[in-house]
Amino acid sequence: MTTVMGICRSFHDRALARFFHCFPCLSDPARRSSWGLKVTLVMLHLIFVGILFVFDGDLIETTKKEPCYVFDVMRAVNETNVICQKSSMASKQPASSQNGSLNVVIEGSQSGRNFQGSNPSSWTKLVMDMYPPGTSIRSCTCSYCNVEQPPRAKHCHDCDKCVLQFDHHCLWLGSCVGQDNHCKFWWYICEETALCLWTGILYIMYLKANISRAWWKDAIMILLLIALSIVIIFLLLLLLFHSYLVLTNQTTYELVRCRRIPYLRRIPERVYPFSKGICRNLYNFCCVRSSIYSLEPLPSSQELEEKARPYTCLDILACRCC
């Protein structure tokens, strides 16, 4: 028995010595304890998250936030209209907001009403009221989906759907960026930029502390740092660009293709037709509930003249830009 235990102990010591020879960083008990704690924390995260994904099969679908599609809003408006008409005919009274309530906010001074199910109009009439009088219904009907598009909507050929406040189709996320997920896209870019900046700082600190080591290690780190710097520059420019869009209430599609969009051709340069001021633009972008569909009509000629008027000192004191 003693001989067997001695053989096992000797085999264990040889295996440990070989392991420490292959991984000398773990020969120190303090470093070994630190690495063990790090591995344990990572495994705990993997276990907790893995169990959550195993038991909640719809978690991926619910966390993958999609933009607002025109077809979904149109169907909801028409269904609410039918429900309210039936309720009104049955009770001979205007239907209450409990019957087919729908949160569709139509902004702007032309409409300025909250569409919550009390005597709602059909989708076609709702869309046509957002355009100037005399606009042909054919000019605002999508040739692919055959639905009436409100202002700022566009058909995405990758998703094969019309998107409210279409910004662009993100290949990295695999979905469109538009109303209801543009804010999350901005925060995604912000977090990626912060992560890359933090990683770049760690690279620089490593090179400053270990510049006298083997040249090939430094060369690899320098090449990685150069690639990371290019990514950081791209992310910073993208973050600044989308921050500018948020502050002026624009989309990438509207800014790039403004001369190809019929209702934006008459807009003078450096005039933001859908801007409501910096503060309100930020509030609508960050704080408006995702359960509300926001539809913005085209501004009137008087509103465009007001927006095109240059700022004066009194305007700045009166916070006209906000």
Helices (H), ranges, the chain: 2-22, 29-55, 59-63, 70-91, 123-128, 182-209, 215-248, 252-256, 278-286, 301-308, 313-317
170 as an active site residue: the answer is yes
- Distance, CA of 18 to CA of 4 (rounded, Å): 21
How close are the terminal C-alpha atoms of the chain, in Å?
Answer: 86
Given a contact cutoff of 8 angstroms between Cβ atoms, the answer to whether 307 and 272 are in contact is: yes
- Written as one letter, the residue type at 286 is C
- Distance, CA of 130 to CA of 120 (rounded, Å): 15
Active-site annotation holder among 142, 145, 159, 170? 170
Put the strands of the sheet holding 113-115 in their side by side order.
Answer: 113-115, 104-106, 293-295
Interhelix angle 182-209/215-248, rounded to 10 degrees, is 150
Helix (H, G, I), strand (E, B) or coil at 170: strand
Active site positions, annotated: 170
